[in-house]
Amino acid sequence: MQDIALFPFQENISLYATFFVFVLAMLALDLGVFHRKAHTVSVRESVTWSIVWVGFSLAFAAGLYFFSGAYFDRDPRLLALPGFDSAVAAKQVTLEFLTGYVIEKALAVDNIFVFVAVFSAFSIPARFQHKVLFYGIIGALVFRALFIAAGSALLQYHAVMIVAGVFLIFTGVKIFFTATKATDPANNPVIRFARKFLPVSANSESGRFFVRENGTLLMTPLFLALLFIELSDIVFALDSVPAIFAVTSEPFIVLTSNVFAILGLRSLYFLLADAVDRFGGLKYGLGAILIFVGLKIVWLNEAFGGKFPIGLSLGIIAGILVASVAGSFLMKPKDSSGNGAG
């Protein structure tokens, strides 16, 4: 791809605005219509919503392909570039979106492990878990947008990209050789601080983040769970955002692939929560993906003339995921004592 912004923000504010309007409309529809009343999300409902979100993502990819082709054909900056082909460029950005989406979806599995631990630790009733995740997703979208904005400014410098690549490789290797430890939200310093200096109610049955008892406004376990989920997503973003910038330098592609993966995270949680212990092999798959993406940054892109083939990247990442899922079913399930779906 040419070293030039394909979707410069200043010239595409309406494009970004339209996308955010779509996201807000879907969130409003989700909470205001389909989940207006608190209820336990069934497997059938989670499967349906998982299919819906994946369908939206694929539909967006198809729309991106046709929109990009027409958009590039009207951009004099791009048409003036020697050898620029709008059809090739449209295919490239579409594959970049799909690759980024798959990477983010894969890395999101770590979030699911955290969700299971958090809801169990704070004894969050199943019927209120969707509410906590809904507001957690909103916070995640805000933080990801900030991370992407910062990344688009910093990762344009080659030295910063190399540092990010080395960090991803180190993180991936660490995953292979570090024993998995159960997440204990109660021992998180921020949670301990909140409990020490802010009054906390033991009541999780109200379904509220704050309650008033004897004239005092108290936090509930739902708010503590939400706080921990937001903190964990910030940590996960340190891996996922640089990983997608290794695939594409276009902030619009990074943003949209992130958002679509995050929007489908709740339904994926409810689908996999009860079987999360069966996917121990995914840990190694995620490590391998981070190592591969890091190698793309520090070596493979340069070795392939500046850009490792995006179609090959997508195939390798998808292959790693399939292999790690298959390997999970060959592994003996770990003792899940002390863990639960909440």
Euclidean distance between CA atoms 244 and 249, whole angstroms? 8
Host domain of residue 116: 9-153+178-277
Write the DSSP assignment of 247-292 as a string of letters: T---HHHHHHHHHHHHHTHHHHHHHHGGGGGG-TTHHHHHHHHHHH
Phi (first) and psi of residue 312, to 5 degrees: -70, -40
Burial of 155 (0-12, 13-18, 19+ CB in 10 A): buried
Euclidean distance between CA atoms 164 and 301, whole angstroms? 14
Contact residues for 33 (Cβ-Cβ < 8 A; gap 6+)? none
pLDDT value for 271: 82
Provide the domain count of the chain.
Answer: 1
Q: Is 293 domain-assigned?
A: no
Euclidean distance between CA atoms 268 and 112, whole angstroms? 8
pLDDT value for 32: 66
Q: Is 326 domain-assigned?
A: no
Q: Is 321 domain-assigned?
A: no
Which sign, positive or negative, has the C-alpha torsion 305, 310, 312, 314? positive
Walking along the chain (342 residues) 10 residues at a time, the average pLDDT comes out as 75 92 86 71 85 94 95 89 90 95 86 85 87 90 90 84 91 82 68 75 82 84 90 84 88 93 87 73 88 91 85 92 86 51 36
Contact residues for 336 (Cβ-Cβ < 8 A; gap 6+)? 277
Closest CA to 113 of 41, 185, 40: 185
Question: How do residues 259-309 score in pLDDT, each as one tens digit?
Answer: 999 988 888 888 877 666 677 788 888 899 999 999 998 998 888 887 889
Q: Is 316 domain-assigned?
A: no
Question: How do residues 111-132 score in pLDDT, each as one tens digit?
Answer: 888 888 888 888 888 889 988 9
Strand partners for 212: 217
Buried b (16+ CB within 10 A) or exposed e, 68-77: bbebbeebee
Question: How do residues 81-95 score in pLDDT, each as one tens digit?
Answer: 888 899 999 999 999
Q: Is 40 domain-assigned?
A: yes
Q: How many CA atoms lie within 13 A of 98 on its CB side?
A: 23
Q: Is 286 domain-assigned?
A: no
Phi (first) and psi of residue 176, to 5 degrees: -65, -35
Helix (H, G, I), strand (E, B) or coil at 132: helix
Euclidean distance between CA atoms 122 and 228, whole angstroms? 10
What is the reported pTM? 0.84
CB 295 within 8 A of CB 173: no
Q: Is 305 domain-assigned?
A: no
pLDDT value for 2: 46
Q: Is 297 domain-assigned?
A: no
Closest CA to 241 of 342, 121, 140, 117: 140
pLDDT value for 1: 43
CA angle centred on 255, ends 249 and 259, rounded to 5°: 150
Buried b (16+ CB within 10 A) or exposed e, 120-147: bbbebeeebbbbbbebbbbbbbebbbeb
